[in-house]
Structure 1
Amino acid sequence: MPVKLFGWATRLALIIGLALLLEASSIAASVNTRSLTTRKTPTVSESQHAKKRMRTLAKGRAPHTRAARIRRRRNYERFYTSSFADGVVDGDVTAGEDPIVRQAAIEALGNLNGTVVAIEPTSGRILAMVNQKLALSSGAQPCSTIKLSTALAALSEGLIDKETEIRLGRRSRMNLTSALAHSNNPYFEEVGRKLGFDKISYYAHQFGLGELAGYDIEGEQLGAYPDSEISSKLGGVGKMCSFGEGISMTPLQLGAMVASIANGGTLYYLQHPATPEAVADFQPRVKRHLDIANAIPELSDGMAGAVEYGTARSLRLNFNEESILGKTGTCSHAGTRFGWFASYSKTDIGRIVTVVFLRGGRPTYGPKAAEIAGRMYRNLYDHNFFVARSLPPTATPDVTIEKVSATPVPQE
C-alpha cells in the first residue's frame, strides 16, 4: 500500500512540474517576441560615392523617361484635316506659267492636300503655282524652316559661323552645319536667346516676313509676325527661332527668302504673269538688296547636308543628278499637321526655287514634302529643264528697283 501511494504521488508531482515548465516556457517566448518586435533597426548611412552614383543613374534614366512620355503624347495626337484632296488645281490661273514646270509640279503633288510654288530666283517670276488658293492664303506656322531666317540673322551679326559649336548638354555640342542638316531645335533656341527678339524681328522683316511677297498678285494674303516676344509659357524667343511658334508664314514669303539665298542676296517681288502678253512684257522688280553674300556660303553646307544625309534625304529617292539645297519643317496646330520643304537647285542653267507646303494628318510631314520636290526635280531633269534655259551671254534683263525703307538694326 505505501508503495502505491508513493507511485501516485510521484506521478502527480511530475504532472505539476511539467505544467509549470510549459507555463514558464510560454511566458519566456512572449517576452522574447516583444523584445524582437520593439527592437529598432540600426540606420545604415550611404557613402558619398554611393549617393553620387545613384544621382548619376537617375539623371541617365530621366531623358529616356521624358522621351517615352513625348512618344506617348504624339501617339495620341488627333488630326482632323485630311492629307488628301481632289480638285486642288481648280480655279488656278495658268496662262502665264511655264507648262513644263507646272506639269512637273502637278504630277509630283498628286492627290495630296498641298501646294507647290516654283520661282525663278534671278527675276522673281513665279513659273508655276499649283493650288493657288492655298499658296496665296495667310499661311501657317513655318515650323523648322524658320531656322533659315535665324541662321542668317546670327551669321549677319557675327554671332556664329558654320563651325561655331554650341553646348547643348553636358556632353553634347553641335555646329551650324549639323544643326541645319538635322534640324536641331535646342541649337536654334540658344541662338535665338543670344540674339534677342529685337534683332530676330528686324532680320525676319528684312527677309520678307510680315509683308506681302508678291507684286500685284490678286488674292495674296499676308502672313503674321508678332510685334513682341511670345509668352515664356509658349517658349519665348527660343521657340520662335527654332519652331516658328507664334508666326504665320506664306509659301510665297518662304519662296522669296530662299530665292534671295539662291541668287546671292537680292530680294525680289514675286510676280505671277497671268497671260502670255504679261510674260513677254515681264520685268523683274527688286524689293531690296540684302547684305548676306558672306553668310550664304556658311549657310549652304547645312542646307546641302539636309538633302544629302539629314531631314530632307528622302528627296534623293527620286533625284541625284544635280545638287539640291533645302530645309524641311514639320509641326502641328489645332488638329492639322504641316509639312514644309523649301529648296533650290544649285545648277549653272535652270536654277529654280521650289516650295512644297502640305496640310493634313499623320502622313503629312517635312520629309514627305522633300520627297515630292525630288519627284518634281526628276521630272524637270527628264524634260531637259536644266539644259534648255541658257541665256545668250549678252542678254541682261531690265530690272526695276523698288525703294523700300529699312529700319536700322537695333543695338543692344
Structure 2
Amino acid sequence: MPIEAAAKSRKKPAAKTQAKSSKASSNKRASRTEAKANAKEMQALLRKKGKLTKEERKKVGSYRAALAAAERRRRQAIYEARMRAIRARDEGLRNIAATNVLKDNSTGEDLEIRHAAIEALGGKAGTVVVMDPNNGRIFAIVNQQMALGSPVKPCSTVKLVSGLSALHEGVFDPNLDVPITARYSMNLTDALARSDNPFFQVVGHRVGFEGMMRYASNFGFGEMTGINYPGESPGFIPEEDTRTMPSHGDGFGITAVQLATFTAAIANGGNLYVPRVPRSAEEQINFRPQLKRRIEMSPEDRLRMMAGMIGAVNYGTGKLAYDPLSQVAGKTGTCTGETDKLGLFTSFSSVENPRLVVTVVTTGSTEAGKRAADIAGRLYRSISYKYFKPGSNPQLAPASTVMDFPRLGGNSSNNQR
C-alpha cells in the first residue's frame, strides 16, 4: 500500500500539469474565436451604410486602435530583430579585424606609429596604412590582410582619379565654375571639398570611359604595388561604364595600400613609389626609394587638387581630420560595398612639407567617410609632434584662399561623401 500511495502521489503533479495545459489551450481557442467574431462584427460595421450609432463608433475606434497597436508591435519586433542581426554582424567584423591585427608582421615598422594607429582605429573593423610619401617607406599597416588582400569599392575617393584625369585632359576650365544643372554650378575646389557627385559625373564623362581607365591604370590601380608583404591583391578596374562610376567608383576594387601610394604620388609631385618596409637594421640604413613610374600630373594640376583636399579638411567632409600642428589634405569616401557600408579617408600632411600619408578604410553598418577621417585625425594629432614641432607650421588660410579660387557655386544635395 505505501508503494501504491507513493505512485499515486507522483502521478498527481502530471495530471495537474495536463489540466493546466488543457485549460490554457481552451482559453487560446476561446480568444481566437472571440477575435474572429469581433473581426466579423467590425467588418460588418465598416461596410454598413448610413450613420453609425455612438456605441458602434466606439467599437470601430477601439478596433482600429487595436490594429494600429498590433502593427506598431509588429514593426518594432522586425526592427529589433534587424538591429540584433546588424549588431551581431558588426561584432563579427570587429572580431575578424582584431584577429587579423594579431597576425600582422610588424617587423621593421615604426612601433610608436603602429600603436597610435591601433589606438585611433579603436577596435573598428578596418585598416590603417601610414607611409612616407617621399620614398614609399611603410611606417605601419594595421590589419595587413585587409589592407593588402581585400579590394573594396573606392567610393568618393575615386574623385581624385576623376579630377586629375579631367584636369590633365583639359575638359573644363579650372578657373571657372562648371555648369552642373540649369540652377547651379561649382568649381573643382568646392566639388572636392564637399564631395559633389554631379560635378565629377559631368567632368568624368567628358574624359570618357577609356580615358578614365587609362589614367586609373597609370595611377596604380588594377595592378600590384610591389610591396614586400605577402598576400597582395592587384584589385581590379571597371570593365564597363556607368553613370556614377566617376563619382562613386562603380566597378573598381582597390586596396588600401594602392590608395595610399596614389595619395603619396599627389603629395610628392607625381612619383609613384613601390611601398616597402625595411625589415632589418641593415635594410633601414641602406633604404632607397624604388620609383615605379611618374604619374600624369602637372605641378598646376597638383596644386588644384591639393586645394580641394585642403578644403575637405578645412570646411568640407573631412573636418574631423583637423590637426592643429599641421595642415592636413584629404578626401573622404562613403558608400555601400557588397554587404556593408564603407568609410574611407586618404590624406597627407603637411601641405607645405609632406611627411606622412594616412589612409583609413573601415567597414560596418554605420561606417562613413567622416568616421574614417576622425580616425585619421586622431592618429595625426597623436604622432604629429614627432614630425611637426609647434610653431614650425604657420596657420594656413582656407583652401579657396590659398589657391585664389572663390568659394562660389551652389550646394548639391546629391553628395556622396
| TM-score, with structure 2 as normaliser | 0.69
- Secondary structure of 1:199's counterpart equals helix
1:151-205, CA deviations, whole angstroms, 9 ceiling, x for partnerless residues?
A: 0111111123543322222211111111100001111111111111111010110
Equivalent positions of 1:153-168 (< 5 A) are 153-168=165-180
Q: Residue 94 of structure 2 corresponds to which residue in structure 1?
A: 84
Q: 1:315 corresponds to which residue? A: 321
Q: Deviations over 1:203-232 (max 9, x none)?
A: 110000111113343211121112x324xx
Are 1:244 and 2:243 matched, yes or no? Answer: no
Residue 348 of structure 1: how far off its partner (Å): 5.4
For residues 92 and 205 of structure 1, the distance between their equivalents in structure 2, rounded to whole angstroms, comes to: 29
Distance 1:280 1:143, change over 3 A: same
CA distance in 2, matches of 1:189, 1:257: 21
Identity %: 40
Summarize the alignment of residues 189-338 of structure 1 with structure 2, pairs less than 5 Å apart: 189-226=201-238, 228-230=239-241, 236=242, 238-292=243-297, 293-316=299-322, 319-338=323-342
SS of the residue 2:244 aligns to: helix
Instruction: After TM superposition, give the deviation of residue 308 of structure 1 in Å.
Output: 0.5
Deviation string for 1:242-282 (max 9, x for gaps)?
00011101101101110000001111111123333332232
Aligned counterpart in structure 2 of residue 365 of structure 1, from 365, 368, 380: 368
List per-residue Cα deviations over 1:82-112 (Å, max 9, x = no partner).
4634344211111201122212211111211
Aligned to 1:340: 344
Query: Residue 374 of structure 1 corresponds to which residue in structure 2?
Result: 377
Counterpart contact for 1:162–1:299, Cα < 8 Å: no
Shift of 1:350: 6.6
Shift of the 289–84 alpha-carbon distance from structure 1 to 2, 3 Å rule, reads same
Q: Is the 8 A contact 1:338 1:360 kept in 2?
A: yes
Contact 1:174 1:187 in 2 (8 A): yes
Q: CA deviation at 1:387?
A: 4.6
**Counterpart residue number, 1:352:** 356
1:385 corresponding residue in structure 2: 387
Cα contact 1:225–1:248 (8 A) shared by 2? yes
Provide the rounded CA distance (Å) in 2 between the counterparts of 1:140 and 1:356: 12
Q: Which amino acid aligns with 1:331?
A: C
Query: Does 2:113 match 1:93?
Result: no
Q: Is structure 2 residue 120 aligned with structure 1 residue 108? A: yes
The alpha-carbon deviation at position 315 of structure 1 amounts to 1.8
Q: Distance in 1 between matches of 2:353 and 2:178?
A: 37
Change (3 A) 1:179 1:100: same
SS in 1 for 2:229: coil
> Counterparts in 2 of 1:42-61, with a 5 A limit?
none
- Cα RMSD, aligned residues only: 2.2
Question: 2:18 aligns to what?
Answer: none
* Rounded Cα–Cα distance in structure 1 between residues aligned with 2:294 and 2:304: 19
- The structure that has the greater radius of gyration is 1
The 3-state SS of whatever aligns with 1:180 is helix
**In the aligned structure 2, how far is the partner of 1:253 from the partner of 1:283?**
20
SS of equivalent residue, structure 2 residue 358: strand
CA distance in 1, matches of 2:173, 2:216: 19
Question: How far apart in 2 are the matches of 1:313 and 1:380?
Answer: 18
Please identify which structure carries the higher helix content: 2
State the AA in 2 paired with 1:229: E
- Counterpart CA distance in 1 for 2:361 and 2:185 is 31
The C-alpha deviation readout for 1:376-399, integer Å capped at 9, x for no partner, is 0111124x33259x9xxxxxxxxx
Between 1:369-378 and 1:340-349, the stretch displaced more is 340-349
Taking the aligned partners of 1:341 and 1:127, their CA distance within structure 2 comes to 18
Any unmatched runs of 5+ in structure 2? Answer: 1-81, 393-417
Structure 1 counterpart SS, 2:334: strand
CA distance in 1, matches of 2:262, 2:319: 22
CA contact (8 A) 1:341 1:366 kept: yes
Q: Which amino acid letter does the alignment assign opposite residue 138 of structure 2?
A: I
CA, structure 1 residues 113+385, in 2 after alignment: closer, same or farther (shift >3 Å)?
same
Distance 1:179 1:87, change over 3 A: same
Counterparts of 2:363 and 2:281 in 1: how far apart (Å)? 32
